[in-house]
Amino acid sequence: MTRLPASGARIDTPRRAEEELKSVFCDLGLTQVFDEAAAHELYWKLGAIIGQWSREQERLEVSPVAKALLSTANNLSEVSRLLSGLETGFRSSLEMAVSSRVADLLSLDPTVRSQSSQELLRSFCVEADRIAHVCLVAAADLPQARGKRGRWRYEWYDEFTALLLQIAEKAGLEPTLNKDRSTGVRSGWLLDAALAFETFLDRLMHSPSSEACGKRLERSLGRLPNAKRQKSRAR
């Protein structure tokens, strides 16, 4: 289904405490290159990735938004028609009855002093017609084309993979991603780093298995235009 694009920026608190990064740095050979300030910056970069994922989950489908806009336009137009019964031109008995009754009751309102009840109704109908037109334009302006299937769902993982590559470059490490040809078992620094740092993300963002994580990484590496792409190597 076509969805509205995500808007704005959001940063969520990572699932694990910042202090727990130390053990991850130790396991991945990053202790020497990440001081306290660098660790703090990395921690909130992970928070920004969680925020990006959260915004993607909240994206609305276009269909119900379009339906609501069209319904609003129709309702406003109908209200304007019913309340225009006192205007010149051909008017139905229903329109005249509704507008007369509303005008009579408005005239009893002590706050309606600077203008007559009929002038107030006329002004309201003009604005209702204006907003109804804008609602129609807004509905027509909604995105119609479907994005590449699955693209929006894992855009956040591309950012996550790019962050892992930046970490490896900073540490002078090769972001390897291997797969044994005979056993199908995946390995490599990039896989280990992904699985380790995923533990700081929301549970729903975690890869269900090492194989799934490896596939996610491969796909992200293929999409990142400036990534140092690591092709899976068979042993």
Classify residue 195: in a domain, yes or no.
yes
Q: Tell me: do 33 and 90 sit in the same domain.
A: no
Residue 172, sorted as left (phi over 0), alpha (psi -120 to 50) or beta, turns out to be left
- Rounded to two decimals, the pTM is 0.62
Classify residue 8: in a domain, yes or no.
no
E-assigned strand segments in 36-112: none
Rounded to whole angstroms, the Cα distance separating 96 from 86 reads: 6
Query: Which pLDDT value is given to residue 214?
Result: 95
Of the residues 113, 140, 167, which one is the last residue of a structural domain?
140
CB atoms < 10 A from the CB of 66, how many? 17
Burial of residue 92, with CB atoms counted within 10 A of its CB: 0-12 exposed, 13-18 middle, 19 or more buried:
exposed
Show the tokens assigned to 180: 């044994």
Query: Which pLDDT value is given to residue 162?
Result: 96
Torsion of CA 98, 104, 105, 109, to 10 degrees: 140
Of the residues 140, 169, 195, which one is the last residue of a structural domain?
140
CA distances to 73, 197, 203 from 16, rounded to whole Å, are 48, 10, 11
pLDDT tens, N- to C-terminus, the chain (235 residues): 566 655 666 788 999 999 999 999 999 999 998 999 999 999 999 999 999 888 877 666 788 888 999 999 999 999 999 999 888 888 899 999 999 999 999 888 888 765 688 899 999 999 999 999 999 999 888 877 554 444 446 789 999 999 999 999 999 999 999 998 889 899 999 999 999 999 999 999 999 999 999 999 999 999 887 655 444 443 4
Q: Tell me: do 158 and 214 sit in the same domain.
A: yes
Query: Which pLDDT value is given to residue 233?
Result: 40
Interior/surface letters 20-35, b for 16+ CB within 10 angstroms, e for the rest: ebeebbeebebeeebe
Classify residue 89: in a domain, yes or no.
yes
Position 22, amino acid: K
CA distances to 6, 45, 108, 198 from 151, rounded to whole Å, are 13, 21, 59, 20
Q: Tell me: do 55 and 171 sit in the same domain.
A: yes
For the chain, what is the domain count? 2
Query: Which pLDDT value is given to residue 149?
Result: 43
Q: Tell me: do 86 and 119 sit in the same domain.
A: yes
Rounded to whole angstroms, the Cα distance separating 159 from 51 reads: 12
Instruction: Name every residue whose Cβ is closer than 8 Å to that of residue 162 and which is 6 or more positions away in sequence.
Output: 220, 224, 227
Q: Rg for the chain (alpha carbons), in Å?
A: 29
